[in-house]
Amino acid sequence: MAGKLQDRVALVSGSGRGIGRAIALKLASEGARVVVNDLDEAPAKETAEAIRAAGGKAEVCAGSVTEAGFAERFVQTGMDAFGGLDIIVNNAGYTWDSVIQKMTDEQWYAIIDVHLTAPFRILRAAQPIISALAKEEAADGREVFRKVVNISSIAGTGGNAGQINYSAGKAGILGVTRTMAKEWGRYKVNVNAVAFGPIRTRLTEGSAKGNSTIKIEDREIKVGVSPALLTQMEQMIPLGRVGTPEEAAGAVYLFCAPESNFISGQYVICGGGFNM
């Protein structure tokens, strides 16, 4: 039996690891053909191979979402490989935390660029294609819905100390979501967002010493949450634990499925009942 997203073309940024990988695998399991992106080519290829091994179709578009020209390349990869564009998931991102008096301009702009400017550019690059496809479908008397899912956070809905850059970016993407729902409604595009609460990924799974880092281009960024803080967070979550990447992907899928065709300009918190 065909999946609910059979032959739909999905672009998923930051899908080589963690939540993004889980999103790509989930959409592919429902029949979508997925363009996989990651900053590093190796994890992107691994995700694409996992999709193919399960009988799906995938193409790789590696590189930083903040690079000049990336958005156009990302969109064109979907067109060249699969001849269409139906779903965009703006997921790529990371954190680079400091309290305001210690935060540099570099930190501020790096996080705003990846969480806000990059999705803006991807959507802008997609507009001519989506417009043309929608006009063709309308002329044929067909109503075809497309989906945009932007990834936010409870840091964006409620703020979080030490994350003014991340909170601002994740709040901003909700404004992008509401605006694009109004601009693209005429194209039959549903634009929604998922705001994640605590999800167990490499960005939250800190070492016992709290000194885990990730490499973003030429920067070593400290990430992770101490085990003690994770335990404290879990005690505040009504469901009693942090979420998994697969559960996070499920929330994104809700906005990609045809059952959401009359939902647009909204966001849902995927946080086990926890909301800062």
- The superfamily (CATH) of domain 9-270 is NAD(P)-binding Rossmann-like Domain (3.40.50.720)
Residue 206 has pLDDT above 60, yes or no: no
Query: 3-state class of 14 per DSSP?
Result: coil
Task: Tell me the domain boundaries of the chain.
Answer: 9-270
pLDDT at 219: 78
Q: What is the H or E stretch that residue 45 is in?
A: helix 41-53
pLDDT tens column, 32-62: 999 999 999 999 999 999 999 999 999 999 9
Window from 184-188, 190-194, 205-209, 238-242 with minimum mean pLDDT: 205-209
pTM: 0.94
pLDDT the model gives residue 211: 55
Using the CB atoms, write b or e for 165-189: b if 16+ within 10 Å. Answer: bbbbbbbbbbebbbebbeebeebbb
User: Over 70: is that where the pLDDT of 120 sits?
Assistant: yes
Active-site position among 166, 187, 253, 267: 166
Q: Is 166 a catalytic residue?
A: yes
DSSP string, 93-145: -----B-GGG--HHHHHHHHIIIIIHHHHHHHHHHHHHHHHHHHHHHTT----
Q: How confident is the model at residue 241 (pLDDT cuts 50, 70, 90)?
A: very high
